[in-house]
Amino acid sequence: MDEQLAQARAGNLAAFGTLVQAHKRSVYSLALRMLGQPDLAEDTAQEVFMQLHANLRSIESSEHLGFWLRRVTTHRVIDYLRQRPSVAITSLDEEAEQIGSVDSGDPLLQRQLRQLILGLSPDARAVVTLRFQEDLDPLDIARTLNMPINTVKSHLKRSLDLMRQRIGQSS
**Sign (positive or negative) of CA dihedral 75, 136, 42, 14:** positive
Q: Which residues of 85-114 are buried (b: 16+ CB within 10 A; e: fewer)?
A: eebebbeeeebeebbeeeeeeebeebbebb
Based on the domain organization, do 123 and 82 belong to the same domain? no
Distance CA 154, CA 149 (A): 9
102 falls in which pLDDT band (50, 70, 90)? very low
For 139, the domain range is 119-171
Residue 9 sits in a domain whose CATH number is: 1.10.1740.10
What's the rounded Cα separation, in Å, for the pair 45 and 28?
5
HSE-up (13 A, CA, CB side) for residue 47: 16
> Which amino acid makes up residue 34?
M
**Do 127 and 62 fall into the same domain?**
no
Give mean pLDDT, residues 143-159: 96
Question: How does residue 111 score in pLDDT terms, banded at 50, 70 and 90?
Answer: confident
CA distance 98 to 29: 10
* 1 and 77 assigned to the same domain: yes
pLDDT band at 16 (very low <50, low <70, confident <90, very high): very high
Q: Are 78 and 122 in contact (CB under 8 A)?
A: yes
The reported pLDDT for the residue numbered 89 is 43
Q: Average pLDDT in the 139-166 region? A: 94
Same domain, 82 and 142: no
2 vs 149, more confident: 149
pLDDT at 105: 67
80 shares its domain with 125: no
Q: How many domains does one find in the chain?
A: 2
Q: Is residue 99 part of a domain?
A: no
Task: Dump pLDDT digits (tens) for 79-88.
Answer: 999 888 555 4
Is residue 100, in this structure, part of any structural domain at all?
no
> So what's the pLDDT on residue 114?
84
> Mean pLDDT throughout 51-70?
94
In a domain, 17, yes or no: yes
What pLDDT is recorded for position 98? 44
Identify the domain boundary among 70, 88, 106.
Answer: 88
Q: Say how far apart CA 150 and CA 171 lie, in whole Å.
A: 32
Total length of the chain: 171
